[in-house]
Amino acid sequence: MKRWFRLVAIGTLAIATPLGLGFRPGLAASHPHVYLFRGLADVFSTGMDTLADELSKHGVHATSHSHTDWKAIADRAAADYKAKKEGPIILIGHSLGADAAMEMADYLGDKGVPVALVVPFDGTQSFPAPGNVARVVNFTQRDYAYIRPGPGFRGSLNNVDLSSNRDIDHLNIDKSPELHARVLSEVLAVIGGHLAAPASRKTISNSPLLPSGSAGPMTTTPAPAASPLPLQKPVAPTQPINPARIPN
């Protein structure tokens, strides 16, 4: 009998101790979530699935979806964020999926949910960067699809112009290994805590991608702080850059 009471006491103590330290069963820690969106008919954006796999291999929770499902996904993401189940939230998409990523970011802003990073791959139109977004990196071939700062936007914005790259087109931009590497570094910077909350002044730049194998890192050409982002091709940087040759 004494042995039985001793076992019960030990078991009770084992359960009570973590509860006393603030642990609660069933409450998982918040984790980052990268949402990727495919374009038309889910057929031409297989690079989003590949990128999701690459992110998963680096321990990043990434899921790939149809662009038509963005609103229902946004509702779940908002609920999970407010329940402290996930965050930060990162949105990536190709073509109509890029449009969906920007629309979802704006929709989450209406719900009071911040978005750490949005990466559109050749969206079909221009969108304002919402005020709840910390950073936008927009890969585009079209000057009419430049992202511009929207009301309240205080984050950083980089339109990466790929129009001079003959190896990049709308149907393969989502599969570019170099662009995938750029996205991976951006995502890991967010998850590693290197991306701060939106700054008091927005940073806007329009930059071509450096050629593969060039000596330096990908650089940007900052626009004047006082002027809004024009929907036109960026002014050439001081140092000439050869057209990028990114393998597909």
Residue-wise pLDDT for 73-116, tens only, equals 999 999 999 999 999 999 999 999 999 999 999 999 999 999 99
Which pLDDT does position 35 carry in this prediction? 98
pTM metric for this prediction: 0.72
Q: In 27-186, at which residue ranges do the beta strands (DSSP E only) sit? A: 31-38, 62-66, 86-94, 117-121, 128-129, 135-140, 148-149, 156-161
Residue-wise pLDDT for 177-231, tens only, equals 999 999 999 999 999 864 444 433 455 666 655 443 333 333 333 333 333 333 3
Choice between 58 and 43, residue whose per-residue pLDDT is larger: 58
Task: Check pLDDT > 70 for residue 173.
Answer: yes
Residue-wise pLDDT for 3-44, tens only, equals 544 544 444 444 444 444 343 444 457 899 999 999 998 888
Which pLDDT does position 193 carry in this prediction? 61
As a whole number of angstroms, the distance between CA 101 and CA 91 comes to 6
As a whole number of angstroms, the distance between CA 40 and CA 14 comes to 54
In a domain, 20, yes or no: no
In a domain, 232, yes or no: no
Domains in the chain, number: 1
In a domain, 143, yes or no: yes
Task: Check pLDDT > 70 for residue 65.
Answer: yes
In a domain, 24, yes or no: no
In a domain, 23, yes or no: no
Choice between 150 and 230, residue whose per-residue pLDDT is larger: 150
As a whole number of angstroms, the distance between CA 90 and CA 142 comes to 23
Q: List the domain range (segments joined by +) for residue 157.
A: 30-208
Residue 174 sits in a domain of what CATH number? 3.40.50
Residue 154 contacts residue 177 (beta carbons within 8 Å): no
Taking residues 119-138, what's their average pLDDT? 97
In a domain, 222, yes or no: no
In a domain, 25, yes or no: no
